[in-house]
Amino acid sequence: MTTMKQEPLNFKLTRVTPKWAFKQQARRILVLTLAASPIALGILPIIVPQTFVYFFAPLLLIPILCFVWLIGATYARADSPDEYLDEREIVVRNEVYLDSFRIIGAIIALGFIVFTIFPDTRIDAKTVFYLLFPISMFLPTCVLAWKQPDPLEE
Amino acid sequence: MKATKDSPSAIAIHNRLPVLRAERNLSRQELADAVGINFQTIGYLERGDYNPSLELAFKLSEFFGLPIEAIFSRTPFKPLSETLYNKG
């Protein structure tokens, strides 16, 4: 007896993604917004008085929404197992992971260069973890969203 | 690993998929469903942006009832009309 394979949650995100987000240009804007949002959210408490910071809390939704739409716009292919992909999609997903690995490698190498040039720099392990964990989580989807051309008509 | 257009090992494989699909009045989705792939992949194959695996090439060959060399070639195909009318 065969059992129906249940649709994974990340596939369902495709249905809540607006149509415009599927275009490559829109996807690239979403990637840039996602990349810029931690910087913007980091600067905000510095430029806005402490009492008003909480008014900007809904801005936290922007990176979340960007990431959800990016997963939907790429049909969650960056995170899908082989059984949900055809042979080309598997090749593309593997290339995306290779690119992501190279980018993370470059970030780590850059960190070592900075520490070599400025040996007095102090950064704790937690900060490195909080920096690299979201990057490694988001990167494959972002790379795929950036590279994938506009979808074809059926 | 199969070659996509961006892969350094990619070699140009020409194909007659658009002609064969048009002859049979098939949409990309219908052809994709018949061979068990995403319809976007049919588009990539037609544009030459992706080279199929041997398995997929055989599936397409079986679907169209033609030998693989009638669908895929390493050299550009002559137009079908030229091939038919210049035969003899």
Question: Looking at the domain assignment, is residue B65 inside a domain?
Answer: yes
- Here the CATH number for the domain that contains residue B29 is 1.10.260.40
pLDDT score recorded for residue B5: 59
Is A88 close to B43, i.e. CB distance below 8 A? no
Domains of chain B: total: 1
**Which three-class secondary structure state does DSSP give residue B30?**
helix
pLDDT of residue A89: 94
B19 lies in some domain: yes
The arithmetic mean of pLDDT across residues B21-36, rounded, is 94
Domain that holds residue B69: 14-85
Residue A98 pLDDT? 96
The reported pLDDT for the residue numbered B72 is: 92
Averaged pLDDT of chain B: 86
CA pair distance B88, B84, nearest whole angstrom? 9
| CB interface of B with A, residues 12-41, below 8 Å | 27-29, 36-41
The pLDDT-based confidence of B3 (bands split at 50, 70, 90) is: low
Q: Do B44 and A88 touch (CB under 8 A)?
A: yes
Its ipTM equals 0.79
Q: Is residue B6, in this structure, part of any structural domain at all? A: no
Asked if residue B21 is part of any domain, the answer here is yes
Indicate the burial class of B56 (C-beta count within 10 angstroms; 0-12, 13-18, 19 or more): buried
| Interface of chain A toward chain B, CB-CB under 8 angstroms | 85-89, 91-92, 94-95, 151-152, 154
| Residue B43 counted as domain residue | yes
Is there a contact between B7 and A95 if contact means CB atoms under 8 Å apart?
yes
Chain B residues lying within 8 Å of A154, measured CB to CB: 27-29, 39
For chain A, which residues score pLDDT lower than 70?
1-7, 154
Q: What average pLDDT score do residues B43-57 get? A: 92
- d(CA A85, CA B28) in angstroms, rounded, equals 17
The pLDDT-based confidence of B43 (bands split at 50, 70, 90) is very high
| H helices, E strands: number in chain B | 6, 2
Q: How far is CA B77 from CA A126, B13, B15, B56, B83, in A?
A: 60, 10, 7, 20, 9
Closest by Cβ to A88, choosing from B6, B28, B41: B41
Write down the pLDDT at residue A32.
95
Of the candidates A71, A83, A81, A85, the one whose C-alpha atom is nearest the C-alpha of residue A15 is A71
